[in-house]
Structure 1
């Protein structure tokens, strides 16, 4: 490679990196937030709060690693344990640690020269790692086409809207690795297959295996790329064998790669991860079944937005221009591949092995949507590669114009170069501008009220206090309040399901952790029985899942166990024992075994955290909290939240509530409510309107919100604590900051 070529390569790398970096940095200005509100969404360092709440989980693990040398809180029987999550029992630490190791190294290095807080380092890491995927894409695509196509592929990679949004500063999560590593692993593997010397084949196969191990250390979903390479290559070998081709070298390569990957994954991540590789498909099938994994408990994962199946528009907008470019590229590449002359001239390095793998890779990306929109990121890699090769072909086709002696203008090299630059700009400029809308739509996961509430809990509660908060904020409070949380963003730890039967640390297998926690917390808020709500919270924060697990051993029927627990958790120990003995036929020993967990003599302190900004959470609370275990279906209740504006004397809300402010005449969808609740300046007034109606309407004047709720739920704990924010229950506010309230049983 000449000095000129090296210089061109360095310039292209710099352009790709800077395009990716600058676009990501733009998000730190909070472009979608009015100027006078920006400070509310910025932390003590003047930076936006993290966009993704999982970021605070990764921050906490990194902090643990720097302070203690391990990511968990302690060790139990040689197993790293995290007591901050899924309290009170905690969970074995199973998280892929590469993000922790990388951040700890960068933090240590930077602090050799300046004092930079760990949270700041965590904030900026994604903006530097994200653009590296574009550079890797550039090198991969350049193997098959020219610098123009390779550069375009790199820019399309760093500007893919979904990937860009998930790698902005403040999105400190494993998504930053999910384009870089699949491309690196696949590139090394393809190079191994196409290498001519056996020595190079071995080196590249081992390199691909090592890269796959790094991917396994980076993300729990690394198996997708492993399945792709192994299954596709095996089918390819079989196809070649049937056609009488030589498959010896290819068989050697896949064997070396397969064995090396399993061995290295076992050494560096634990051999349970190797078992998980073969057990994961079975778990996936169970997840996709009608009953799900935790039948008959509700499945909390259906409420996770990133695990919802994306629409075709979500796919197109998430991938960006590479969606159409990639699909067209696959078709155009085929057109060239089947023509020996064109192939020799324009795609001389392209092999049928890689082309067919590119198709399989793309198909795997589409199939992965079954698991949710987050896995859309797996489609970006093959489509940007295909798009880059397509653009390279278009650029190369321009050389044909020089052979056209009719149009003399194309005989000039300068004109051809201008056309090449124009084509690149036509592809990349729209990609760059399309992501601006995505960054404008970003909202920080936290705000001053949540942050200050977490700090207050840290400074004003006992160290063994458990925080019960909407699971989406669990990581924030476990990290900043430094308190254990009952439920957080890892929810039921579904990533560990496939290996629990092989890991003695999970004493109860799939029963704990499980989505049962979602039901009990939501039921404590959806009920109007205050003593039942208190009983549920006491059970969960003191003995966790042991109450229902123990009772299940006697009833052998989860539905019956839930019914029994709901009948005893709201009464005292003596009454509960009488119910167990006389109504449900448990013997003395069985009753005592259950009651030690449901009615603990020494309950652990806990606090509840609610936020008026998360009123939309009510839909999930009633959906799962009023779960029908007999028919195994969600509760069917009316619940709607809207934001209102007042024009003159008429209040209009986005959820179709209309109110005359002068006469107090109020309707929802044209119908009068059972009752009207007005909440203003901390006071509440309720007015009965239509006894035949089945819904009530609450108007929250201080926050411009309207809530429509089923008549049967208007006295629920959710309504009292979340909506009315009242002192009328057994729980009293011990701290209020703006939209957030911290409650404690008094």
Structure 2
């Protein structure tokens, strides 16, 4: 490469990186939040709180690694354990470590020159990693087309909406690797296939395998890119054999890639990761099934928005303009490759292998969309590459203008061709940048001052063994900032570990724990109006975890009956519970005592409950799973709706259909009167019966401008008492309040 070409390459790479980086930095201004509210979402460093709860999980693991050299809290018999998650039992540490290693390394390096908090390093890291995907996209496409197309691929990669918003500062999660590594691995793999000398092929195949190994350390879903390359190349070899083609190169590259990848993963990541290679797709399919993997317990994963099937609009909006450009790119490439003259002129270095691989990659990404919204990410790399090649083709076609008699200006002034090419690149780039910039308002941090301060208060005012019960989405925030264990967090039932449990002795109860039963019990404790049952469930979960139902299942051999039994004893004292177990369910005294040690512990562990008025939508899942019908394997069916209201004159209108005449007091939901009206204002609760025949009640939270419509049978549920009404008249007392957040303790 000449010095001029090298300088051009370095310049383009720098521009791609800077576009991605500067745009990401710009996102920190919280454009979607009014100026007077921005401070509410900013930490003590003046930075926004991180957007994704998982970011705080990664932060905590990095902190652990820096403090004692491994990600877990402690080592038990040589195995790392995380006792902050899924308390009280905790879980063996199983998590891809690359994000932790990288953050720790950068933190150590930066602090050689200045004192920078770890949280700040974690906050900014994605802004530096995200643009690197554009660099490898440029290098990949550069071989097959001109610099204009390659630069377009780089710009489109760093501005692909879903990838962009998951690599902004404050999104400290493994998503930062999920476009970079697939492109890098595929680029090295394709280069290996296209080389002539076997020695060079082997070297690049090993490089591709090493990159795949790094990807395995970066993300639990690395297997999908591995499958795409292995499956496609195997099919290509088979097709080539049938057609009498020489496919030895492909075979040697595939064999080397497969062998070295499995060797590196097996030796350095562990044998269990190899098992995951083959078991993970089966687990993912089970996660999406109606019954789930823990039937008859409910499949709580259906409530995870990322695992919901995306609409066509969502796919297009999250991939960006690349979606349509890539389709046109595939069609245009096909037209060129089918004509030898065109191929030589416009895509001389493009082979059928590369084209079909990109097409296969895209189709596999489209199929993966059936498994959830988050798999849109798999579509971005191949579509970005196809779009870049499309721009390159357009620029090449525009060279016709140099020979055109109709446009002599291009013939006389050849530099105008480069101006036109730059204009094409500029239009593509500025359009993708504007599309992203116009959506900055979607970025709102999950934590806020109220939640952060409550976590700090818990850290300063509770014993170290106190367990926090909160919405699972906030669990990672509390484990990191309050430094207290939580009953469950964002990893929920640790479904990623399910394929490994039968091979790992650390999982003493196999698939039974962790499981979705945890969320089901906690939701039931909030959904019930039986206060003693509620505290009994919380006491059981925080002291003995899953042991009560696991032990009872051994005697009943029937989970549905075990749940029925526990519901009948958790709300009564130990003596009554023993009588119920022996007289009503025919357990002997030893079996009864075996159960009671977990349901009615002598030394219950302290716990606090955290509720937030900003999270009232959580009620949907709480009533769905908390009222689960085990006999019919059916979710609870009840009325629940939340909304935000505005007042104009004497009329209150909420976006969930609640309307109220403030002068007359007449209130309706979708044109119907409620059973009762619950008014909450300045800590005062007022209830008014309206229509006894109605099936729902309406709650108006005057200080929060919120309305809640709820099934009248759930009007006295613990969720209503604690989350909505913030009532002092329950078995729990508030021990800390800050804005929307309340911390509760058993009286």
Shorter-chain TM-score above 0.5: yes
Q: Is the 8 A contact 1:61 1:71 kept in 2?
A: yes
CA distance in 2, matches of 1:180, 1:280: 22
Task: Check whether the contact 2:287–2:301 (CA below 8 A) recurs between aligned residues.
Answer: no
Whether 1:62 and 2:58 are equivalent positions in the alignment is no
C-alpha distance in 2 between matches for 1:211 and 1:97:
15
SS of 1:482's partner is coil
Match of 1:711 in 2: 712
Alignment of 1:244-263 (within 5 A): 244-263=244-263
- Residue 555 of structure 1 and its aligned partner are, at CA, apart by 1.1
For 2:106 and 2:361, locate their aligned partners in 1 and report how far apart those are by CA, in whole Å: 33
Contact kept in structure 1, 2:287 and 2:299, CA below 8 Å: no
Deviates more, 1:221-230 or 1:430-439: 430-439
Instruction: State the partner residue of 2:702.
Output: 701
Query: What does residue range 23-422 of structure 1 map to in structure 2 within 5 Å?
Result: 23-411=23-411, 412-422=413-423
Whole-Å separation in 2 of the counterparts to 1:554 and 1:521: 23
In the aligned structure 1, how far is the partner of 2:100 from the partner of 2:284?
A: 27
Where does residue 497 of structure 1 map in the other structure? 498
TM superposition shift of 1:391: 0.5
Unaligned runs of 5+ residues in structure 1 are none
Contact 2:733–2:745 (CA under 8 A) maintained in structure 1: yes
Q: What secondary structure, in the 3-state scheme, does the structure 1 residue paired with 2:94 have? A: coil
CA distance in 2, matches of 1:162, 1:426: 21
Take 1:9 and 1:147, find their aligned partners in 2: how far apart are those partners?
A: 8
Residues 130 and 164, structure 1, Cα contact 8 Å, conserved in 2: yes
Contact 2:88–2:545 (8 Å) recurs in 1: yes
1:36 aligns to what SS in structure 2?
coil
Other structure's SS at 1:677 match: strand
1:75 is paired with a residue of what secondary structure?
strand
Q: How many residues align?
A: 746
Higher mean C-alpha displacement, 156-165 vs 394-403: 394-403
Partner residue, 1:601: 602
Look up the SS of the partner of 1:329 in the other structure: helix
Q: Deviations over 1:663-718 (max 9, x none)?
A: 21111111111111111110111111111111111111111111111000000000
Q: Which moved more, 1:281-290 or 1:664-673?
A: 281-290
Alignment correspondent of 2:424? 423
Separation in 1, partners of 2:636, 2:291: 16
Residues 527 and 622 of structure 2 are in contact (CA less than 8 Å); yes or no, is this contact kept in structure 1?
A: yes
- Determine the C-alpha separation between the residues in 2 that align with 1:260 and 1:211: 11
Deviations 1:440-489 (A, max 9, x none): 21111110000000000000000000000100000000000000000100
Which residue does 2:650 correspond to in 1?
A: 649
Distance 1:170 1:371 in 2: 26
Q: Secondary structure at the match of 1:35?
A: coil
Partner of 1:476: 477
CA displacement at 1:592 relative to structure 2: 1.4
Q: Note the alpha carbon deviations across 1:395-432, whole angstroms, 9 max, x for none.
A: 01111222223431221212211211111122111100
Query: Could you give the per-residue CA deviations for residues 328-348 of structure 1, whole angstroms, max 9, x where no partner exists?
Result: 111111111110111111111
Distance 1:26 1:607 in 2: 38
Q: Is the 8 A contact 1:165 1:438 kept in 2?
A: no
Q: Determine helix, strand or coil for the equivalent of 1:47.
A: coil
Per the alignment, residue 527 of structure 1 pairs with 528
Q: Deviations over 1:88-112 (max 9, x none)?
A: 0000100000000000000000001
Question: 1:147-175: CA deviations, max 9, x gaps?
Answer: 00000000000000111100000000000
Distance 2:434 2:285 in 1: 40
Alpha-carbon shift at residue 19 of structure 1 (Å): 0.7
SS in 1 for 2:342: helix
In structure 2, the residue matched to 1:615 is 616
Matches within 5 A, 1:509-528: 509-528=510-529
Other-structure match for 2:464: 463
Q: Compute the TM-score of the two structures, normalised by the length of structure 1.
A: 0.99
Structure 1 vs Structure 2 CA RMSD: 0.9
Is the contact made by 1:49 and 1:444 (CA closer than 8 Å) also made in structure 2? yes
Alpha-carbon offset, residue 235 of structure 1: 0.8
Contact 1:81 1:93 survives alignment (8 Å): yes
Matches within 5 A, 1:640-679: 640-679=641-680
Q: Distance in 1 between matches of 2:16 and 2:248?
A: 39
Higher deviation after alignment, 678-687 or 274-283: 274-283
- The more displaced of 577-586 and 410-419 is 410-419
Q: SS at the partner of 1:402? A: helix
Q: What SS is found at the alignment partner of 2:501?
A: helix
Shift of 1:249: 2.5
TM-score by length of 2: 0.99
